[in-house]
Structure 1
Amino acid sequence: MKRFLMGVLTTLVIGVALGVVTVYSGMFDVAADTPHSRFVYHLIETVRDQSIKRHARDLAVPANLADTERIRRGAGNYAAMCAACHLAPGRADSEIRMGLYPKPPDLTHPEEEAVADMAARHFWIIKHGIKASGMAAWSRGGIEDEGIWDLVAFIQKMPSLSVGQYVSLVESSEGHTHGGLPGMETMHTGDGHMPSLENTERHEHSHSGGHDH
């Protein structure tokens, strides 16, 4: 028994020592273009999903998420705050999304698995963000709970929208506007509307073919 305990203790000491060496030697590659191992990725993914599920389980989801006004208001904020990473109808990818790891989910498609509390999970993620993932805690940026629920309402609607319907909703919205920090209208064009999908794509094409990075 004593020999067994000594073996366990020795293993723990060696493990800690290797961990310290890995941390302080700089050997661990934190580059976003170097993927985690399958085990590490699965571990992180499981921790993330279980944490979101636990923290979002007691949220009260508004009964009017299908309200057209909520969806319309959410459209403008989505176009300004989310589309670059999570895409929009008619956008196959974006520069920033291609460079992020893990890659943000494409919200233009329905969820692969039906989850009963997905609205609550989306709300929690938008409000609090996710550590070391590129997902911002938008409540820190000034968006209030009602504005976040508007975003959730739009996200639920978006997979069923055509490109034209998406553009129409964005252009009929107030654009990038919500409570909290002042000056949230910076993404408006001169006529008070959000930049169109066509203009956004032209900007991205100029990046890919018009000049060197």
Structure 2
Amino acid sequence: MKTFLSLILASLILTFIVLGSGAYNMAATEKHWGITEKIIEWVRESSIEARAKNLEVPPLDDTEVLLKGAEHYNAMCTTCHLAPGLRPTELSIGLYPQAPAFHQRESVNDPAKQLDRIRAYFWVIKNGLKMTAMPAWGLSHDDDSIWAMAAFVVKMSHMTPEQYENLISSAKDHSHDHDHSHH
């Protein structure tokens, strides 16, 4: 038992020495080690699922909710997450990990899975994600706006550029002015 504990202690010390030496490259231009990427993904997905699974989803089927979500998404999210018809931006290209392009994600037809996805998106939009450049919009936006964005993101799957532009135009026509002077 002493030998086992000594080996663990020696391994931990060696790990700290190697990591502290700068051997692990933190540059956004270098991918994580495969095992590091898998651990980060597992921790991230587990964290989101644990915190989002019991969120109560408000009614989101109203057209006004979709328009509000579209307006907020267009104003705040397209630089990193893009939108149908938009080319990658200088910022989106330089992110690691890459921000998901939601309009390219698979649609979810199962209502229960769709609600799970909306809950997860709400939680991430509200709280942000460490070391991903995803801000915590809950510090400057109310829950209704965040639920609207989460619902919109789910509806973006395989949306055409024309559909996206029509929604943005409709949102502007319905006075969904996105104002960044949050008091």
TM-score by length of 1: 0.75
Give the letter aligned to residue 130 of structure 1. L
Quick check: which has more Rg, 1 or 2? 1
Give the letter aligned to residue 145 of structure 1. D
User: What is the rounded CA distance, in whole Å, between the counterparts of 1:13 and 1:152 in structure 2?
Assistant: 45
% identical aligned pairs: 36
Offset of residue 112 of structure 1:
7.0
- Note if 1:28 corresponds to 2:24: yes
42, 46, 52: which one aligns with 1:46: 42
Unaligned 5+ segments in structure 1 are 183-213
Offset of residue 81 of structure 1:
0.8
Q: Any conservation in 2 of the 1:128–1:137 contact (CA below 8 Å)?
A: yes
Unaligned 5+ segments in structure 2 are none
Offset of residue 90 of structure 1:
0.6
User: What is the rounded CA distance, in whole Å, between the counterparts of 2:166 and 2:137 in structure 1?
Assistant: 25
Q: Which residue matches 2:104?
A: 109
- Note if 1:79 corresponds to 2:81: no
After superposition, the Cα gap between the structure-2 partners of 1:101 and 1:112, relative to the gap in structure 1 and judged at 3 Å, is farther
Q: CA RMSD in A?
A: 2.0
Q: How many residues align?
A: 175
Mapping of 1:1-213 within 5 angstroms? Answer: 5-63=1-59, 65-111=60-106, 115-116=113-114, 117-140=116-139, 142-173=140-171, 174-177=176-179, 181-182=182-183
After superposition, the Cα gap between the structure-2 partners of 1:120 and 1:79, relative to the gap in structure 1 and judged at 3 Å, is same
After superposition, the Cα gap between the structure-2 partners of 1:133 and 1:81, relative to the gap in structure 1 and judged at 3 Å, is same
**Which range is displaced more, 142-151 or 24-33?**
24-33
